[in-house]
Structure 1
């Protein structure tokens, strides 16, 4: 097996587990905080929001820093640091005695993240251009699927095995990721290829800065679109179904079905981008995703919403591999880690921004407008991508 293909398999598992580790706490947070001694509903909501969101905000800050370290010291050391660090931190969450310790560990989890940045950089630099779209498309399914399926996995573990085992099992999986990274990831890295540049110098070194800017915004909008429904999904499903029986399970499936579609479609769409051009697949995916959001505001039952969310996942599956392939194409290799780190920061901000945006729009305008506003953002992004990327590269 080629080295990059073996590395791809290891990185896929590690990124999936990392995605689960970042998001698996969402459905159990209110219950776990109540278990830790906070019983006021208002305080539980506040602490839940802080504990969930702080990891993504801190990760957005530190991803470029670890990306720079990956360019300087190698990608494999960053994989080992992040996987072992997350294994210890997540496992430790099962032993916390109060909510402040939990928030502190979630903050620390955001600091030591960087597995996705190092994996994406490693595969992008090792893969030849003919296979880059397929490889990066396959890799992108891991983090998306982990993030979207994480709440379902966390909810299932907590319901059947208890709150603490959510953290123990996820920490153990991260330790497995660390071990297989030690033994199976191979990298040939020369430190003299690394250059120490300021952020301004990095930006000035990148050709086609406007294209990179579109890529960062697209990554932000992709994740914002996926997570804009998160704060209102349970309420919306309850309204559509007319009863509260199995609403939590139904809401979890509706939220996560996009991840399943992403896993199914991303490798194929990545391969298609290798053949016809990543800019074409990206533009088509943005347009389709923007249009699919509109009917979600008019559905009459949860099954219709589930079907549309599946179609949305198929469309969005073409975006991450296309964005990563274009970044690889126009970024000098010695800057790859830093640029991918900034791109992943945009994704983390999209997770946080989507959750905030969806809740605020639903509160002031109504749930259905969450879908209309998100559709507008995707279609506006498609227009910008057409003018700034498609016309320039085609």
Structure 2
């Protein structure tokens, strides 16, 4: 191994590029998904909203169910084969979405996309197991920043591609991007420290739990992930509506909403690897606690903004608190899990993330419908504070 460029550093560079590409691929079809559905039949406004919601969430629901099974396979066969399985599988499925003739076929393929999920979570798991523990915070922060950057850029690229070509061609280009990322992984990523799990007792979740030094700490972190995702995603359905209310129907609502929606991701991209490196030095749990306190303050203040400038500033600041949370939870999972079950633990974390993605928007829509947009931010503040309390009881007290 070259001491100046060890394999884990090259893996980090290559996989950062690959998850950046995957982030683009996964997010570039989101802005026009409902418009594409509208071309597949004659739908009323209510029917279009219903199908858009079902087709969008179908991937997350299936992924939440199958991720633990893929995680078990990753611990037995390796993380690199699982990255390739996910990348090639989703490349084919997403390209096929450009060929569908009705909404049922699109729903089936979106659910099949969920079956093949795991490109980013297995990339994280590979980096987690191949990187020295003393560098894991910075490494996972770097790969999280790359994912965030791709996710931010995706809608812009997707909009450009659909303007130049068509919805259907864009799906095929997206499939091509994932295939390219998979080829990079095949030839440039090397998994050197993998030892296949052969113990029968680790086939079952109960065996994995017994292998953990502190199961309560790990499950506390998984619960933290679920609540972080639910809190962040509770805001997403109402941001553009909140912008419209603040503008009082004057101004370019779509453009301003797009900018405000992108601001948290930009801040996370800028800060995640830096907070990861700081956590490696002073303790990752301290970074997470700081993130909770900051997030609670920023969400609470957002309920009282008077204009879109104030909203934009607070949403940008929320991105910094985000950088203290999800990537750092992954780092704590890495530092407190045996290498032989890292794939399983990361897949459980992915399932928790997907459940948060489902619960959050439902909660946001329900609260805004009953009590107004401002109350969504108040409720989210309470959720963050509850998460901080649970984190202290279940994680910090078990360190």
State the partner residue of 1:278.
284
Distance in 2, matches of 1:18 and 1:327, equals 23
Match for 2:186 among 160, 170, 182?
Answer: 182
* CA distance in 2: counterparts of 1:147 and 1:16, whole angstroms: 8
Give the equivalent residue in structure 1 for 2:265: 259
> How many angstroms does 1:189 deviate by?
5.5
Q: CA deviation at 1:102?
A: 0.8
For residues 164-175 of structure 1, the aligned pairs below 5 Å read 164-175=168-179
Higher mean C-alpha deviation, range 302-311 or range 241-250: 241-250
Higher alpha-carbon deviation: 302-311 or 246-255: 246-255
Which is worse superposed, 221-230 or 92-101? 221-230
Give 1:226 shift: 2.1
Which residue is equivalent to 2:344?
338
Task: Name the CA shift for 1:144/1:217 in 2 (closer, same or farther; >3 Å).
Answer: farther
Q: How does 1:296-315 map to 2 (within 5 A)?
A: 296-315=302-321
Contact 1:194 1:334 in 2 (8 A): no
Distance 2:125 2:317 in 1: 29
Which of 24, 27, 34 does residue 31 from structure 2 map onto? 27
Contact residue 241 and residue 302 of structure 1 kept, 8 A = yes
Contact 1:14 1:115 in 2 (8 A): no
Aligned equivalents of 1:149 and 1:365: distance in 2?
33
Task: Tell me if structure 1 keeps the 8 A contact 2:77–2:196.
Answer: no
Match of 1:357 among 359, 363, 372: 363
Instruction: Please tell me the root mean square deviation across aligned C-alpha atoms, in Å.
Output: 1.8
Structure 1, residues 66-121: CA drift from partner, whole Å, max 9, x if none?
A: 11111100111111111111111111111111111111110000000111221111
Cα deviations across residues 251-282 of structure 1 (Å, max 9, x unaligned)?
12211211111110000000000000011111
- Distance (Å, rounded) in 1 between the aligned partners of 2:61 and 2:149: 20
Match of residue 71 from structure 1: 75
Return 5+ residue gaps in structure 1 as ranges: none
Structure 1 residues 232 and 190: CA distance shift in structure 2, 3 A:
closer
The 5 Å alignment of 1:73-222 reads 73-147=77-151, 149-188=153-192, 192-196=196-200, 197-222=203-228
Superimposed CA distance per residue, residues 27-80 of structure 1 (whole angstroms, 9 cap, x where no aligned partner): 212211111123311111110000000101111112211111111001111111
1:321-352 CA deviation, whole Å, 9 max, x = no partner?
Answer: 32112111221111110001101111111112
| 1:365-384 pair list within 5 angstroms | 365-384=371-390
Task: Compute the TM-score of the two structures, normalised by the length of structure 1.
Answer: 0.94
Partner secondary structure for residue 31 of structure 2: coil
Separation (CA, whole Å) in 2 of partners of 1:348 and 1:219 = 10
Q: TM-score, normalised by structure 2?
A: 0.93
Corresponding residue to 2:49 among 32, 42, 45: 45
User: Mapping of 1:240-255 within 5 angstroms?
Assistant: 240-243=246-249, 245-255=251-261
Distance of 2:195 and 2:315 partners within structure 1: 45
Instruction: Please give the alpha-carbon distance, in whole angstroms, between the structure 2 residues aligned to 1:379 and 1:150.
Output: 32
Matches within 5 A, 1:8-27: 8-27=12-31
What is the alpha-carbon distance in structure 1 between the residues aligned to residue 301 and residue 195 of structure 2? 52
**What does residue 333 of structure 2 align with?**
327
- Describe the SS at the equivalent of 2:101: coil
Report the 3-state secondary structure (helix = DSSP H, G, I; strand = E; otherwise coil) of the residue aligned with 1:339. Answer: helix
Compared CA separation, residues 198 and 333, structure 1 to 2 (3 A): same
Deviates more, 1:57-66 or 1:190-199: 190-199
> Does residue 1:229 correspond to 2:261, yes or no?
no
Superimposed CA distance per residue, residues 334-384 of structure 1 (whole angstroms, 9 cap, x where no aligned partner): 111000110111111111211111111111111111111111111111122
Match of 1:60? 64
The more displaced of 374-383 and 143-152 is 143-152
- Give the whole-Å Cα distance in 1 for the aligned partners of 2:228 and 2:148: 10
Alpha-carbon offset, residue 248 of structure 1: 1.6
Deviation of residue 10 (structure 1)?
Answer: 2.2
Whether contact under 8 Å (2:212, 2:337) holds in the other structure is: yes
Gaps in structure 2 of 5+ consecutive residues: none
TM-aligned CA distance change 1:273 to 1:358, over 3 Å: same
